[in-house]
Amino acid sequence: MKMAISFICGVVVCCLIIFGVKPVLPTQADTTELTDDSDNLTVGLTNLLPDIEKIYHDALTMPFIKAESKIYDEDIAEFYRELMEKTGLTD
């Protein structure tokens, strides 16, 4: 019996919280017109994003390129260059 009463009280409290918060939250988006001369505002925002593909490629290949500069044996350096070309790590 106590568990049923506790459950019902919990449901009532949750409903009161939901209905109490509803008037505080905005229900509709702002529909004011933007008066900007640019044709498309999203193009300006996408130019701010970094080129993730280039960053990923540089982060992947940079250690291998730096390691190649530390190889002094010509045979090993040639093998390393061929390996990098076959795996696609070179530009």
Task: Please state, in angstroms and rounded to a whole number, the distance separating the CA atoms of residues 15 and 20.
Answer: 8
What digits encode the pLDDT tens for the residues 15-67? 888 877 766 666 665 566 655 555 555 566 667 778 888 888 888 889 988 98
Query: Domain ranges in the chain?
Result: 36-91
Q: Tokens 């905005």, residue?
A: 26
Q: Tokens 């919280």, residue?
A: 17
Q: In the 8-state DSSP scheme, what is residue 49?
A: S
pTM: 0.43
